[in-house]
A and B are shown apart, each in its own frame.
Chain A
Amino acid sequence: MTDIGLLTEFTATIELDRYEDVRAALFEPNLSRSFDKRSYEDGNIRGGIVSIAHGAVHRARRRVENTQFRADVLRLYEQELFPRVMNDLLDVLIEAERVDLFPIGELISVVLAARRAGIDYDPSSLEDLRKLVDHVDLFSQGSAILDAKDPDRVRALVRETYAEFDRDFVQPAWQRRAALIQQVRRGELSEEKLPHDILTILLSHRDDPQMELDDDGRIVREVATYLQGGTHTSAQTLVNAFDLIFAGPDHEQVVDRVASDTLFAQRAVQETLRLRPTTPKMKRRAEADVEVARRRVPKDALVVLDVVKANRDPVLFGARPDEFDPDRAVDPTVSRWGLSFGAGPHQCPGRAVGGGFPIPASFEVDGDHVFGLVALELQAVARRGVRPDPDRAPERDTRTERFTRWAHYPVRFVSLSGRGPIKHDLRRALG
């Protein structure tokens, strides 16, 4: 039996690290993400959320939640909402020549992640955003519970955070949306007037028994999942991208190229995702005896999928797959980000939000192309003349085994050298 600190036991451990084998496992419907059999009250911090749901419940939730990730919604966010919010907010947050890039990445990402999740915040101050980012930090530890160094402590902290998040953010948003939904059902309000977010659609579909949303806590956890996914992964990818760029001998030229070429910025983000996947080792549990990639997998076996190795297959990604090369030629049948967003039924619904649409081999895109919000963040920071801070070393997040997570990433901005703080109207940025 294998014990990796989980709440179940495994009949065997199967490890896969070839691209096609990992992909086949991710598509296999008999491999689930349902590890934790204990109830929420007993300590399951992710109980019932879509990420670990399986079968009919998972399909029902994804069918309604996927509506928030349609191409027209992505374009609205990317072309109209995000650039203004991001640039105004960056002007407020980059108030000195030397700053910590990681929390800045979280703050600019949480604005739209909150909007998509259905969380309202006070646009007149940064305090709500900072509190949301603090919550996201705890939820992120919960989402990586399989790799936590002290899982019991993480469970306790995340439970406390859910209660606070529910009280301060979810309940006010919930009540407002529930009242609007009632108005629609009474014919007093057009359905188009409802907010377009995860919380609204969960409340609208709560009566559908297939959704299994009787438990209020499950809705809170689902909303938190989308808030966390849209914030933490984006901020970590932003920092990882600059970390890879700064490691190169010509990093100033690469920063300049990011600043002037949005499609190159997107390729840099997708290359970063390939080399630094948010979840380096994905884990699945066999719901039944099954054969995957020519391997017999017994029921209740743990299947470990090494995404880092799979993403460095030289046949698919070229002769030097370990190098950071946004211009690399990639086999047209695979994503430039490899399997970092997963594949199959549990593929990340927000993959195009963060990473954008696939990039054609010709590197030519039309006006409908979605570059992804992280590419826009990378470009906006590059345009401000970002450089590594020679006096302060970056710090990894030591609470997790995941090598792709940062706690602090000090940088300096050459464009601000010798200048005083820039002050902008925060209400204009967040309103």
Chain B
Amino acid sequence: MNETQVTVDRDRCIGSAECVRVLPDAFRIDETLGVSVPQPAARTADLRSLAEVVRNCPTGAIRVVDSRGEAL
């Protein structure tokens, strides 16, 4: 199974929800803080979709490291 580490830098995130649009089960927006929070499903999400999330995050707040320890 793909065990991936997914983190969101809360200081950078602006809550654009691009990550939620691409992977709605893997991220949700904490509407109190206005930032994205990775969910357990992020760890097993499709790597191609996670790469899209990383590329499209407008502030570069999302970091994904795959099971081999390589950053997407």
Q: Could you list which residues of chain A lie within 8 angstroms of chain B, going by C-beta atoms?
A: 27, 29, 58-59, 62-64, 66-67, 69-71, 333, 343-345, 347, 349, 357
**11 residue pairs A–B, Cβ–Cβ below 8 Å:** A59-B12, A59-B14, A59-B59, A63-B13, A63-B33, A64-B34, A66-B16, A67-B34, A70-B17, A347-B16, A349-B16
Q: Does B35 contact A (CB under 8 A)?
A: yes
Q: Within the complex, which residue of A69, A333, A343 is in contact with B58, where a contact is CB–CB below 8 Å? A: A343
Question: How many Å lie between the Cα of A71 and that of B34 in the bound state?
Answer: 15
- List B contacts of A67 (CB < 8 A): 15, 31, 34
The 9 closest A-B pairs by CB, nearest first: A63-B34, A62-B14, A63-B15, A66-B15, A347-B58, A345-B59, A59-B14, A344-B58, A345-B58
Mostly, the B contact residues are: loop
- List A contacts of B14 (CB < 8 A): 58-59, 62-63, 66, 345
A-facing mask of B1-42, CB < 8 A → 1, else 0? 000000000001111110011000000010101110000000
Question: How many Å lie between the Cα of A69 and that of B14 in the bound state?
Answer: 13
Q: Could you list which residues of chain B lie within 8 angstroms of chain A, going by C-beta atoms?
A: 12-17, 20-21, 29, 31, 33-35, 52, 55, 58-60
With both chains docked as a complex, state the minimum distance between the C-beta of B53 and any C-beta of chain A, in angstroms.
12
Q: Within the complex, which residue of A64, A69, A333, A344 is in contact with B59, where a contact is CB–CB below 8 Å? A: A344
- List A contacts of B12 (CB < 8 A): 59
Mostly, the A contact residues are: helix
Question: How many Å lie between the Cα of A349 and that of B13 in the bound state?
Answer: 14
Among A58, A347, A349, A357, chain B packs the most CB atoms within 10 A around the CB of A347
Question: How many Å lie between the Cα of A29 and that of B12 in the bound state?
Answer: 10
- List A contacts of B31 (CB < 8 A): 67
Question: How many Å lie between the Cα of A177 and that of B12 in the bound state?
Answer: 30
- List A contacts of B13 (CB < 8 A): 63
10 further interface pairs, Cβ-Cβ under 8 Å (given A71-B21, A333-B55): A59-B12, A59-B59, A63-B13, A66-B14, A67-B15, A67-B31, A71-B20, A345-B58, A347-B58, A349-B16
- List A contacts of B59 (CB < 8 A): 29, 59, 344-345
Residue of B nearest to A344 (CB): B58
